[in-house]
Structure 1
Amino acid sequence: MAYQTRGRDPLLDSSMAEAIEKRGKELAGLVLLAIGMMATAMILTYHPDDPSWMSATDAPVKNWMGHLGASIAATVFMVIGWGALGFAIMICGWGLRFTLHQGEDRAVSRLIFAPIWLALLSLFAATLTPGTSWSATHSFGLGGLFGDTVLATLMGLLPFGAGLSLKLLSLIMAALSVGVGLFVLGASRRELLLAARFLLVGVIMSYATFRAMLGRGATGAAHASMGLKSGVQGHLQRRAERRAEEAAYAEEEERAARIVPPAPARKLRAEPSLVNRQPNAPAAQAAPKTAPVAAPAPAPAPKPEPEKTGGLLSRMPSLIRRPEPEPEPELVDREYHGDLPDTPGPDRIRAKIADAIKSRRHPTEEELEVQEIPADKPLTKGRGRGPDPLLLAPRSAQLPPEPPLTAAQARVPQAPMQEPVNDFATDGAYDDAAYDDSDFAIYDDEDNLPPEPVLQARPRIPAAEPKKVVQHPPRKAPQPSTQARAEAQPALQFEEKPQFDFELPALSLLTNPAKIERHHLSDEALEENARMLENVLDDYGVKGEIVSVRPGPVVTMYELEPAPGLKASRVIGLADDIARSMSALSARVSTVPGRSVIGIELPNDNREMVVLRELLASRDFGDSNMRLPLALGKDIGGDPVISSLAKMPHLLIAGTTGSGKSVAINTMILSLLYKLTPEDCRLIMIDPKMLELSVYDGIPHLLSPVVTDPKKAVVALKWVVAEMEERYRKMSKMGVRNIDGYNSRVEDALSRGEMFSRTVQTGFDDETGEPVFETDEFAPEKMPYIVVIVDEMADLMMVAGKEIEACIQRLAQMARASGIHLIMATQRPSVDVITGTIKANFPTRISFQVTSKVDSRTILGEMGAEQLLGMGDMLYMAGGGKITRCHGPFVSDEEVEEVVSHLKAYGPPDYVGGVQEGPEEDKASNIDAVLGLNTGGNTDGEDALYDQAVQIAITDRKCSTSYIQRKLAIGYNKAARLVEQMEEEGVVSPANHVGKREILVPEQ
């Protein structure tokens, strides 16, 4: 059974469907064109230093397509080199075809061969010789890795020399690239024939044009001479007609002058040919003209001269200054004629037209009379009329009343500021035939003259612009270190990571500086602040000028050039007043070393946070040769400040609570942990506050657990002194001067598998009497650096100030060569904590914010630390007294914990037992003797002194501290201890009321 099905009508008719299909292709073509242009920009702006998945850098992206474009361009260039340009050409070509509906149906069949075309382009680019800049930044040629590989294979197959093979392959690849490229781009035979036809026609037209130009040269002179001759004749005829008209105008002028005599007025000498003629003020506004220049000074009225009726040369100034054809003047009479005779309307209109034309052609002296003297006004560019000149008050009493048509004031044109050109003919006896006017035959018609050249006014002296004081110091782009580039470049999965016993922490454990908000003040705001600061200083009687403004991340320094005779101390003493007047938290004023200016540092409204990762990732830290680098922060200009603890060689830090002192110590510790392994550096941390440094307990770099007991801290410092003495003995045996020389000797010996030996004389031979030597061998072992970090020195000085000071003095004086360095911090920088002995042995100091000027002078020797902002703002005094303001980086507790967890993963630390337990008794007594601390138990030497003191007291029957001091030639304190010991043992009695003691032991 068959069912009948009714055919459904289509939703859209054929014409509508075809139109939609065309619009869709056009839209697709436009999209392809946009993609092709972006691809072209991406490829043409490719730069090898842009960040990508193959290279990591903090430099700004130079590719126009941003980070994505830089990554894609780097990948494509690495594979096929400059053959990547074929992508952009292909996309743009097919986008144009889809847009113009030219051969878009051939897209699929042609684009199949696109990879072959790209390969040919890459191979052709590989045959080209790269430049020096390309070779310096790339490890492959212009054709990428693919082009280099295929080119090497093909050159190996050809039986020619390298040079000939390269040139032959270059020609072949060029021809193939062009042919295949035309095929891929969809070129048909008809299009190729059409293009060839256009090229042929263009060549023929160029050749014909060239021949025509050569033909003109032969007949050009004849045509020119004929043209000049006809032009001269026409010009003479027009001049005769003009003379006839001028005679008629003169007669009409005389008739009008008889009716109303001219009013007296102040006159200005002016040359009619030099005046820009304009009928009246409204007409001048309707017809823009070249702006007039300043009028010359008034001169006495000239004597009446006969009418100038010279030839063409006499009218040369007016010819060369004549503007474009002027509009017809309005029907405005410039003069008041009083009671004119009753004439018919048309005759009166014709008379006014004649007067207007006459005033346009030849203005009379009456028309040149000055009614108002305009002030100077500048020239304006182009042909437009500039602003109206300023008008002085007219002398209305000397002028007759004006009719309604001339009620508006008419501006009198000003003479240009140029030397006037004198007319050649001044009388009627001038003969035109005596001069050759053929040179002026180019003016075929008087009304079609060339435009008037723009009058050049006298050069005006420009107003002195204010000196630009905002200076952005040239700052080199931050270069990432080797570690930062290695971490930013992801390792491929098939690459095996090398295995090490210890791996330094990764920078990814710290805060990324890209997340930090940056604040920048505009130059206008800085200029305004500089001017305001000058006014504030002027209010306090300080004369000077702000010559430079140097903005930074935290503070901005204004450099003041003081007036001669102004003392710097006077400006420095105004720091608090300047801060109050500028509405700033604080202001630091100091001299700039090496310059004659005074630096005034004011805090920024929005403070940038300095991140530790940004400093550790810099090349100054990661790739430097410093033994013990410390990332201190950034200076005023924002540049990183990296210092070496090995060169300091010890560091003293002071600052109040909350000034950033403990955070700075954490950043210094992390700087060492990110740079050195446990074999290179060991740490001893003393933290009497039991809070700040306890988080590092258990890392492999420690020589002992974190010391929190002040008494054990004294023991630890004495162990460090003993270690220093032991290292000096080893270096003495080796014959080196410092730890670097010792370690280099050890490395050389370990690389050769040798043992250290030293020849020692043990005596003399009994038979021959010659000396006898023995060889002492010992295993070489590298000595690591030891850094002792004391977080709070004031607590230790309160418990055992004398012993602590003796140990610190001994270490500060001698520990540098042995590789032992101290970092000591205190929050109470008073003279009882930072004694003169400690200051003398710590030339490198850092001061954070303190409470008073006295504390600032105690730590730095000068004021300024009390004006700091806190939160890491510091003054860094390097050896030599040069002080630099730095902004310390911030590191959070979470970052410290992550780094510590990473270090603890490599096993427990190798502690040295004697650090907290103390050395053996004999070594301890020797250390006390070295330090002069024989307070506990008498040594053999002191026992001998005691026996001598007892013998003197029994023999002389006299005992006092000063007497024992003189007899034994010892110090007063030691003599007092001996007397007290004799009193305890019953040798002498206690002192009576006059200080005398009795000898209780009978005389022997």
Structure 2
Amino acid sequence: MRATDRSLDVVAFVSEHFRDIVRRRLSELAGLALLTLGLIGAIALATWSVQDPSLSHATQKPIHNLLGFPGAIFSDLAMQLLGLAAILLLLPETLLGWRLLAHRPVGEKWRGLVWIVATFLAAGFASTLPRIGSWPLPTGLGGVLGDALLHVPALLVGAPLSRLTLIVLSVLFGIATVVTLAIAAGARWPYPRAEQAAADNHHDDEDDDAGDDRASAWLGMIVHALLSWKARIGRWLRGAPRAPQRAAMPAATSGRQEPRFDSFGRVAMPAATEAEEEYEEEPAPRRRAPVRVPPRRIGNGYTLPSLNLLTAQRVSERTTLSKDIIDANAVALESVLGDFGVRGEIINAHPGPVVTLYELEPAPGIKSSRVIGLSDDIARSMSAISARVAVVSGRNAIGIELPNPTREKVYLRELLTGKDYNESAAKLPLCLGKTIGGESVIVDLARMPHLLIAGTTGSGKSVAINTMILSLVYRLSPEQCRLIMVDPKMLELSVYDGIPHLLTPVVTDPKKAVVALKWAVREMEGRYKKMSKLGVRNIDGYNARVAEAKAKGETLTRTVHTGYDKETGEAIYEKEPLDLDPLPFVVVIVDEMADLMMGAGKDIEGAIQRLAQMARAAGIHVILATQRPSVDVITGTIKANFPTRISFQVTSKIDSRTILGEQGAEQLLGQGDMLYMAGGGRISRVHGPFVSDDEVEKVVRHLKSQGAPEYLEEVVAGDPEEDEDGAVFDATGMGLAEGGDLYQQAVAIVKRDRKASTSYIQRRLQIGYNRAATLMERLEQEGIIGQPNHAGKREILIPEEGGQERY
């Protein structure tokens, strides 16, 4: 019985597409029939003649109407009853036929009654107009019904209507006709600024309003013109000058209910309505007016970018799968798995913007690895582009993710206006996108504390980096966050050159990138020294202590031991004043790691390792991206220090295992589809938001208008060749040319071992050849060793341990 039910459901699923085609064709035929009916009626009215035979007039003369006797009867009845307003009888059929033919929503039924009222009012308006000499009927221009409407006020007054009264009635009937026609056609009313947003909350969720706007744009223009003249007349009567128009005030935006899912993916409760603006940035024909978001100002006169610079999602772009389709897919999926010998039941389904997750509860004895290995076969059998299979953590279920027929685009503006971003306590918030259930994913870079990104060309990696950068600049000012961008490809990040958040111009030279990373290491150590002076553990405690001292107007000091009293022998302590300023976060963004590893792999890997291990508390964070996730680029050292990783679509299972430790990334759909692995190793699928190059340029122009960047020359200063083959920390004081711990260690080695050669110093100190050669030259200059003889050996000039030293 169960197999029979499955077969019937599969047949229903297959025939669903056929039924949809039949419905569309019937709709098109009905629309074409109504348009034809409207055209026939228009021809009948256009060729109407009072001499034609009709129900009220018999004659043997030839019929002038092109439609013959039926057309003559219809046109005569319409003209006798409504006069010139008879043309309005054809507009509802024509508009309805156009909507059915174009597969537009039909609209509410009550609008048909409004059409009838508008037709009567139009007849009354026509009857108030003076009759022309060629009018062949004994009634007015509005026919019998129009004259009847004029007799009502005449009966109330008890006297014939005067010319002034006719003018007043003409204006009233005209305005009422235009207003009722606009309501019947679904034209949007030009509300005031504050009231418009409230009205939009009621209409935005209905797609048929968009069709109404396009169908009756001319009616809305007429209403707008009438109201404009009304406002001008009112100002003229009051004698008040016209006030200049102000910018649109912030208004409430429309919202929608998003399903919320618990930790197991089940629908938990309706989500609170989130602010979500459904308007384009610039008003265009056939689109609603935009709701402007006021700019957000912070200290020092800096204004954060406005959300109006980003594109908003329209209601028509949202797509959802019906329950029938989801159930049919679940039945078909069970049948496909049964064909491969996998017994189980689909217990739940979670539709999302891009894919739908089907939870399979396998029968006892079914291995998860067996189902996971069937991903390609499942995609082929379900006629899908790809299928990703993974175990649902914490449950006896296996998740099968299938792409939706229509993909919904995720916009960055939707995430930035959401509650999850605006109420997030993250210090460095990053908008990653939406989960399968439609929930926003906002993560904190400060808690990661570093991020590794991999993905092939076209997978959405560069767009994701742009969204992360915009997430930071939309929340933080240059005083709160500074950026170092490394772009060896000279294409992706060069657009940000000149924004005030940068510490240095966008670095495109791989050799300069090494210098920039070494500067970050030195900056990290310098920050640790400052924090140790205040006795704090991280940058948050440091900034809080400095801000507290400035608020109280006190000077920070520390107690320093300077020596001992010669007479008493007691220790002498002095207070040293500290001139400290708040430290901003520093985010280092490397767009292509492979190019840097090919040029200076040893130095790059050492610097990144040091930053990843220690820079978190100092407020320095690293985002690495590469399009070649191979083991020679993402080494074991880098993977061990980057627990948080993101993988976009890759070419093979090997690349997926390299970046994530498991397969699955090769089954992604591209264009922002990613797998996000948090610090604990838990992997979730996220659909990244889209941001266009035009939006990025708009935001960059705004940032540049806020002020010029304050570059630090020492970030990329220095000759990269001098540090080639040198240790990462040679420039931090351990290998200075004028002396330091490294030189003292070399002297101690030579004095103790009585050996002096460049290779020997290089091996003992574990430094590069160039640095060892520099130390040998200094040892010779200081008289520690002699010049090399014919065999290349040097004489040790200093005595052994315990003897008199010459330095």
- TM band (smaller chain): 0.5 to 0.7
CA shift for structure 1 position 523: 1.8
By how many angstroms is 1:803 displaced? 1.2
Q: Which residue does 1:568 correspond to in 2?
A: 368
Q: Kindly tell me the number of residue pairs found equivalent between the two proteins.
A: 572
Residue number among 467, 472, 476 corresponding to 2:271 in the alignment:
476
Distance 1:668 1:63, change over 3 A: closer
Q: Which runs of 5+ in 2 are unaligned?
A: 1-132, 154-171, 184-192, 211-251, 253-264, 280-288, 781-785, 800-807
Equivalent residue in structure 2 for 1:873, among 673, 689, 694 = 673
SS in 2 for 1:863: coil
- The residue matched to 2:520 in structure 1 has which SS? helix
* Aligned partner letter, 2:333: L
Residue 707, structure 1, aligned to residue 502, structure 2: no
Report the counterpart of residue 539 of structure 2 in structure 1. 739
The 3 A distance-change label for structure 1 pair 917 and 989 is same
Amino acid at match of 1:476: A
Q: Do residues 887 (structure 1) and 687 (structure 2) align?
A: yes
| Counterpart position of 2:163 | none
Which residue number in structure 2 is paired with residue 995 of structure 1?
none
Contact 1:478 1:618 in 2 (8 A): no
**1:786 equivalent in alignment to 2:581:** no
- Cα distance in structure 1, aligned partners of 2:622 and 2:276: 28
Which residue in 2 is equivalent to 1:596? Answer: 396
Contact 1:58 1:479 in 2 (8 A): no
Which has the higher Rg, Structure 1 or Structure 2?
Answer: 1
Separation of aligned partners in 2, 1:564 and 1:971: 61
Structure 2 distance, partners of 1:13, 1:974, is 108
Separation in 2 of the partners of 1:744 and 1:764?
35
Name the residue aligned to 1:361: none
**Quick check: 1:625 aligned with 2:425?**
yes
Letter in 2 for 1:566: I
Instruction: From 652, 669, 672, give the equivalent of 2:472.
Output: 672
Aligned amino acid, residue 645 of structure 1: L
Work out the CA distance in 2 between the residues paired with 1:568 and 1:795: 39
Aligned pairs (5 A) from 1:823-902: 823-902=623-702
Equivalent position SS for 1:675:
coil
Aligned counterpart in structure 1 of residue 565 of structure 2, from 761, 765, 780: 765
Question: How much has 1:945 moved relative to structure 2?
Answer: 5.1
Matching residue of 1:656: 456
2:440 maps to 640
Measured after TM superposition, the shift of residue 520 of structure 1 is 2.2
Asked if the contact 2:293/2:307 (under 8 Å) is kept, the reply is no
Letter in 1 for 2:454: A
The answer on whether the counterparts of 1:633 and 1:640 sit within 8 Å (CA) in structure 2 is yes
1:786-812 residue CA offsets vs partner (Å, 9 max, x unmatched): 111010111111111111111111111
2:348 is aligned with what amino acid?
Answer: S
How many Å apart are 1:491 and its aligned residue? 9.3
Q: 1:959 to 1:819 in 2, by over 3 A?
A: closer
Tell me, yes or no, if structure 1 residue 798 matches structure 2 residue 798. Answer: no
Alignment of 1:497-516 (within 5 A): 501-514=301-314
User: 1:548 and 1:933, CA in 2 relative to 1: closer, same or farther beyond 3 A?
Assistant: farther
Q: Deviations over 1:548-593 (max 9, x none)?
A: 1211111111111100010000000011111111111111000111
- Map residues 12-51 of structure 1 onto 2, 5 A cutoff: 21-23=147-149
**Greater alpha carbon shift after TM alignment, 918-927 vs 583-592:** 918-927
Give the counterpart of 2:497 among 669, 674, 697.
Answer: 697
- Partner residue in 2 for 1:724: 524
- How big is the shift at 1:712? 0.9
Q: Is the aligned partner of 1:543 residue 2:338?
A: no
Aligned-partner Cα distance in 2 for 1:685–1:847: 21
Q: Secondary structure at the match of 2:459?
A: coil
Equivalence for 1:338: none
Deviations, residues 98-129 of structure 1 (Å, cap 9, x unaligned): xxxxxxxxxxxxxxxxxxxxxxxxxxxxxxxx
Offset of 1:601 from its aligned partner? 0.6
1:398 equivalent in structure 2: none
Q: Which amino acid aligns with 1:688?
A: P
For residue 554 of structure 2, what is the aligned residue in structure 1? 754
- What are the superposed Cα offsets for residues 461-516 of structure 1, whole Å, 9 maximum, x if unpaired? xxxxxxxxx9877552541289x9xx987699xx9999962100111111111266
Specify the code of the residue in structure 1 equivalent to 2:640: A
Partner Cα separation in structure 2 for residue 13 and residue 954 of structure 1: 129
The structural deviation recorded for 1:630 is 0.4
Q: 1:716 to 1:687 in 2, by over 3 A?
A: same
Contact 1:548–1:558 (CA<8 Å) still a contact in 2?
A: yes
Q: Deviations over 1:231-267 (max 9, x none)?
A: xxxxxxxxxxxxxxxxxxxxxxxxxxxxxxxxxxxxx
| Contact 2:347–2:360, Cα closer than 8 Å, also in 1 | yes
Which whole-Å deviations, capped at 9, do the CAs of 1:140-175 have from their partners, x for residues lacking one? xxxxxxxxxxxxxxxxxxxxxxxxxxxxxxxxxxxx
Cα deviation, 1:813-858, whole Å, max 9, x if unaligned, reads 1111111111111111111211112111111100001111111111
**Structure 2 CA distance for aligned equivalents of residues 746 and 557 of structure 1:** 50
**Residues 575 and 587 in structure 1, CA contact (< 8 A), matched pair in contact too:** yes
Counterpart residue number, 2:717: 917
DSSP 3-state at the match of 2:686: strand
Residue aligning to 1:108: none
Task: Rate the CA distance shift 1:860–1:839 in 2: closer, same or farther, 3 A.
Answer: same
Which among 324, 328, 331 is matched to residue 524 of structure 1? Answer: 324
Q: Does the residue aligned with 2:605 lie in a helix, a strand or coil?
A: helix
Q: 1:622 to 1:59 in 2, by over 3 A?
A: farther
Q: Is the 8 A contact 2:434 2:440 kept in 1?
A: yes
Q: Which amino acid aligns with 1:908?
A: A
Give the alignment's Cα RMSD to 1 decimal: 5.0
| One-letter code aligned to 1:690 | M
Q: Give the residue type in structure 2 aligned to 1:630.
A: L
State the one-letter code of the partner of 2:271.
K
Amino acid at match of 2:347: V
In structure 2, do the counterparts of structure 1 residues 931 and 828 end up closer, same or farther at CA, with 3 Å as the change threshold? farther
Give the letter aligned to residue 302 of structure 2. F
Could you tell me whether the CA contact under 8 Å between 1:684 and 1:704 is conserved in 2?
A: yes
Report the Cα offset of residue 749 of structure 1.
2.2
Among 375, 382, 390, the residue aligned to 1:582: 382
Q: Is the 8 A contact 1:550 1:556 kept in 2?
A: yes
Distance 1:498 1:875, change over 3 A: closer
**Residues 1:575 and 1:59: Cα distance change in structure 2 (over 3 Å):** farther
> Which letter maps to 1:708?
T
In the alignment, residue 640 of structure 1 is paired with which amino acid? S
CA shift in 2, pair 1:773/1:959, >3 Å: closer
Q: Secondary structure at the match of 2:328?
A: helix
Q: Is the 8 A contact 1:56 1:488 kept in 2?
A: no
The answer to whether the 8 Å contact 1:847/1:875 transfers is: yes
Give the drift of 1:51: 8.8
Unaligned runs of 5+ in 1: 1-7, 40-49, 68-137, 139-469, 991-997
Q: Distance in 2 between matches of 1:936 and 1:779?
A: 26
Q: CA deviation at 1:626?
A: 1.4
Whole-angstrom distance in 1 between the partners of 2:508 and 2:198: 46
Q: Deviations over 1:917-942 (max 9, x none)?
A: 05999999998447999899796545
Distance 1:945-1:750 versus aligned 2 partners, 3 A rule: closer
Pairwise CA distance, 1:780: 3.9
Q: 1:762 to 1:25 in 2, by over 3 A?
A: farther
Distance 1:853 1:864 in 2: 7
CA distance in 2, matches of 1:988, 1:833: 44
